[in-house]
Structure formats: structure tokens, C-alpha cells
Amino acid sequence: MSDRSAGYVTDTGYTFGYHAALNPLATRLAFLRAGLEPPRIVTACELGFGQGVSLAVHAAASHARWWGDDLLPEHVRFAQSLDAAAGSGSTLAEATFEEFAQRGDLPQFDFIGLHGVLSWISAENRARIAAFVRDHLAPGGVVYSGYNALPGWADMVPLRRLMTEHAARAGNGSTVERIESALEFTARLLDTHPLALRAGPRVVDRFERLRRADRRYLAHEYFNRDWHPLYFADAADLFETAGLRHGCSAQLRDHLDALNLTGEQRRMLAEITDPRLRETVRDFVTNPQFRRDYWVRDARPIAGDALRDAWRETRVVLAVHRDDIPEKVSGMLGEQRLSEAPHRAVLDALGDHRPRTIGEVHASAGGLGLDAVTDAVVELAAFDHLSIAQDDTAIERCASRTARLNATLVAHAATSDDIGVLASPVTGGGVAVDRLEQLFCGAIAAGQTTPEAWMADAQARVTSVGGAAIGDVAALARGARRFASHRLPALRALRIVPG
């Protein structure tokens, strides 16, 4: 690690994950649910973008002009290759936060995204990020920040420290080799039933999940020099120095109190008038390991007719096959049925996978009130059954870019399964599509029309680059048939597959 890295792991790249919360369009449902006017986002920035999959998808799939930085040259090169393939024209820099902030060509950003970053950097770099936000977030702008949360991570703090101490003092070789040694040592120690870990009964289970995780993920998640899970109050302190206030959770499931809180807990939280204290107490109640929050400069409340009009104008689309939507979903403390009259009305209106405004959905909902319809929309969207949708002009403007990006991602799928997403110009973001489904998408784009032809094309793509066969004939046939009946209609409507 160089001094320039400030203790961050640089000898191995990060994973290729996609994070939907970094999609600026996702702010709309959360803001309306919280009674806030959604932001208008024209310029956007992601700090610490990793391999850049999220940034490349969002730059291709929306009208926003994107900027971003990351410390690792290999990350930046990969992100630039995706952005160039799509033709999005983003500005991506290999730079520290301090170096990036010193650029003279930075605009005022309407949206700044940070996923996980605050948890893995020093206090000095967190202060630099706060200064960047203070200087470069536009009036009315939004910061998305996802970070490891306390007290949810409290039981893992001692074990993480033990592993990093072993890696630093007893391990040899690369970061990944040191991680392997630390995991082996820690497993042996846990087998001795050490007293220090008996107070945290979840630790052993969480450690077993760590042992199965991608070593690239472990390197960047646990083995940086700095590792700082934050209380909500810590994050609030940081963003208050930049002139921001907490807007709302970026996780729609957090807006569904009946799933997460008992009646007594809801009443107790309602008694707390200070928003910062209320969020801190809520974290003790729900114990999340990861928070996703929107922080706002000059938040604008919206209510009454203006709020109802904003709901009516919001476009949504059914993103999955209706048969794949369960009867009910579970949260931390409760269940929500997704088969009540408002849910059925919303799904009936959106069953052809075409985008519609909530006003149109409400008009076809058989006398149900607008509040009941919007509640059902949020509940379905919270579990990824519905997605926000852009207007037709934006969809057409972005469609050629997402097609080019998706062709690149499908080509990547011939050699690897590490990117599980394709871009949709309808949702302005990414949609989960596994490797086999991506290869089927590639076959359709190449003109193949039957499940049998998709199977043959998928195998040919993989073997042409020296890969092993991707499954036996029976498994491929089952996958192709299900893709045709359940996935393809939605992927066509989302403009991921032509047709």
C-alpha cells in the first residue's frame, strides 16, 4: 500500500457489483413517500466507484451527465471501457478524493453517490468528502450514502480486528494470501470456544459466511487499514458540516414500518421529536448492518394537492413476471400480503409490462383511493417487483447507449459470471439478469428465435473463448423455457431485449 492509498487495499481489485440505490431516478419514490419534492438530476457523481458497473449503467440509461473517481487504475480502466462502449461520455478519473476535488472543471452536482465508501476510509478522508459535498453539491442536491451501521456491526468489531491483526503481523504474501491465512487461523481459534466471543452468538455464523465470500470482497470490505462502521449520528455530524440534513432512507423497505417495528416501538419512536435521535433509536430497534440514506441540501417539503399531483405523474413498470410475485413478504418483525385489493389493482394495470403513470393506474383501480394505490406501489417496489420508469423521450434517447453497453456485458458473460446486471433505458438503471439469461439475450439480439437456438448460441459463445460448457442439455432446456415464459416479456418491455 502506498501513502497515496491512505491504507486502502490496492493490490487486488474489487468485485463487479451493481447498486440500484446509486440510480438517481430511485430518489423519486423515497422522496414522495417522505413528503419531499424529488430532485431534478442533470449532473451526477460517484466517489469511489469501484469497477464502475453502477456508474456505467446509470450513465448509459439516463440523461444525467456523470463524473466519478476511484483510486485503483484497474478499476478506472474497466469503468472507462464500459463507458466508451456505451458512448456515454462520462468523466472518470484515477484520483484520490483530494486530487479529484482540486480539478478546475467540476460542475455543481445534483446527485453525489457514495456506496460503502465512508466505512472504509480515514477520518481525514471523510472530512475531505464532506468538503467536496459542501463545495460541489448544487442547491436542492442529494447525496446518497450507504455505509456499515452501528450497532448492527458491533458484534463483528473484535473479530474483524483479530483477522486484520493476523493478516498484518503473521501473514505473508499478497492481501488475498494474508486473508486466507487469517481466515484459517480465526477458524481454529473459534473451534476453541474463546470467552471473548461468547457474548456474540451470531459471530460464528457470520464468520462462516465470510469464509465462503469472494476474497476480493473481503479484501475491500474488511482488510483496509481503516474500517469504521458508523452510528447514524456520526453520519449526520459529517453531512451537517457540509450543510446537509437527512432526507429519508434510500431503502424503500425502511419506509414500511409495519414490517420492521412493533406497535409499541412505533409509538415510542413517534414520541421522539428530534429526527437525529429518532433515527439513532430506530437503529437500536431494527439493528441494520448497512444503512442507505439520502442527505439533502435545501430540502423542499411537498404536501396536499402538489404531493398528489407528483404521485399521479410518477411512471412505474412491472419488472417481473406476475407469477413470480409471492403472496406475502416478510420484514424484520412482520408480514405484508401482496395479494390485497390495491396490489391486485396495480398489478392488473401493469400486467402487460408497459410503463404507466400512477394516475393511470389509479384511474383503473375500481374506486380505490390514491393513497391505497401509492402504498401498494411502494410496497411492490420495495421488493423489486415494480420499478420507476422514465418518460418516453428519455427512453428513446438512452436506448442506443444501453444496447451498446448490454452487448458489451453479454460478451463479458461469455468468459465470466461476475456481472449480473443489464441496463434498461426504461428504468434508468440496471436489472438483475444472470449469466445464462445474458447469453440468451445475446442470442436473441443475434437473431435466434427459439429456446433451442438460444441454448446452442449460449454454448457456442462460451466455448468459442475457451470456456467450459455451462450446463447439461436438460438444465439448459429448463432455463431456456423459463426464460421464454417468465423473463423475456419483461426484458422486452424494459428495452433490454429487442423486439
Q: Is the pLDDT of residue 359 over 90?
A: yes
pLDDT at 227: 87
d(C-alpha 492, C-alpha 499), whole Å: 6
Q: Phi first, then psi: what are they for 144, rounded to 5°?
A: -100, 130
Given a cut of 80, whether residue 206 has pLDDT beyond it is: yes
Asked which of 29-33, 91-95, 481-485 is least confident by mean pLDDT, the reply is 481-485
pLDDT in the model for residue 232: 97
473: left (phi over 0), alpha (psi -120 to 50) or beta: alpha
The domains of the chain are located at 3-151+229-296, 157-222, 313-388, 400-420+433-493
The percentage of residues in the chain with a pLDDT greater than 70, rounded to a whole number, is 96
Q: What pLDDT was estimated at residue 44? A: 98
More reliable by pLDDT, 438 or 4:
438
Q: What is the pLDDT of residue 334?
A: 74
Q: What is the average per-residue pLDDT within 487-493? A: 95
In 62-190, where does DSSP find H-type helix?
A: 73-86, 97-101, 123-136, 157-169, 175-190
| The most confident of 122-126, 182-186, 305-309, 482-486, by mean pLDDT | 305-309
Looking at domain 3-151+229-296, which CATH architecture does it have? 3-Layer(aba) Sandwich (3.40)
Q: Are strands 335-337 and 328-330 parallel, antiparallel or unpaired?
A: antiparallel
In the predicted structure, residue 147 carries a pLDDT above the cut 60: yes
d(CA 457, CA 440): 8
> What is the average per-residue pLDDT within 275-299?
95
* Position 273 pLDDT exceeds 90: yes
How would residue 245 be classed by pLDDT, with cut points 50, 70 and 90?
very high
Q: What is the pLDDT of residue 103?
A: 96
DSSP-assigned beta bridge partners for residue 148? 290
pLDDT in tens, 169-184: 887 888 889 899 999 9
Using CA atoms, how far apart are residues 39 and 17, in angstroms rounded to an integer?
26
31: burial class by Cβ within 10 Å (0-12, 13-18, 19+)?
buried
Q: CB neighbours (10 Å) of residue 20?
A: 20
Who's near 367: CB < 8 A, 6+ residues apart? none
Helix (H) / strand (E) containing 387: strand 386-388
**Residue 97: its pLDDT value, please?**
94
Average pLDDT of span 349-372: 95
Q: What's the gap between Cα 288 and its chain centre?
A: 16
Least confident of 277-281, 376-380, 455-459: 455-459
Reported in sequence order, the residue ranges of 8-158 that DSSP labels E, i.e. its strands, are: 43-47, 65-70, 91-94, 109-115, 137-148
The residue-averaged pLDDT of 399-409 equals 97
Position 255 pLDDT exceeds 80: yes
Span 239-267, average pLDDT:
95
Query: What integer is the mean pLDDT of 314-322?
Result: 96
- How many CB atoms lie under 10 A from the CB of residue 229? 21
Cα(474)–Cα(482) distance, integer angstroms: 12
Sorted by sequence, the CB contacts under 8 Å of residue 251 that are 6+ apart come out as 21, 291, 292
How far is the C-alpha of 256 from the C-alpha of 375, rounded, in Å?
A: 9
Cross-strand pairs, 303: none
pLDDT score for 467 = 66
How many helices, marked H, and strands, marked E, lie in the chain? 22, 14
pLDDT of residue 335: 80
Q: Is residue 1 predicted with pLDDT exceeding 50?
A: no
| DSSP annotation string for 290-315 | EEEEEEESS--B--HHHHHHHHHH-E
Which amino acid is located at 313 in the chain? E
The pLDDT of residue 443 is above 50: yes
DSSP-derived letter for residue 110 is E
Phi/psi of residue 425, each to 5°?
-70, -15
pLDDT digits (tens, 9 = 90+) for 24-66: 999 999 999 999 999 999 999 999 999 999 999 999 999 999 9
What does the pLDDT read at residue 203? 84
Higher pLDDT, 25 or 337: 25
CA 159 to chain centre: 27
Nearest to 57, CA basis, from 13, 19, 108 = 19
Looking at per-residue pLDDT, the higher value among 142 and 210 belongs to 142
Question: At which residue does the C-alpha cell 456481472 appear?
Answer: 419
Q: What is the mean pLDDT of the segment spanning 362-382? A: 95
pLDDT bracket for residue 9 (50, 70, 90)? low
**C-alpha angle 108-109-111 in degrees, rounded to nearest 5:** 165
Cell numbers at 19, concatenated = 447498486
Q: Which residue has the cell 458489451?
A: 408
**143 neighbors 133 (Cβ within 8 angstroms):** yes
Query: Residue 438: enclosing H or E segment and its boundaries?
Result: helix 435-445
Q: Which segment of 227-241, 297-311, 455-469 scores lowest on mean pLDDT?
A: 455-469
Kindly report the length of the chain. 499
Residue 2 clears pLDDT 60, i.e. is over it:
no
Beta bridge partners of 94: 70
pLDDT of residue 357: 98
* 245-249 and 290-296 beta bridge pairing: antiparallel
The answer on pLDDT for 199 being more than 60 is no
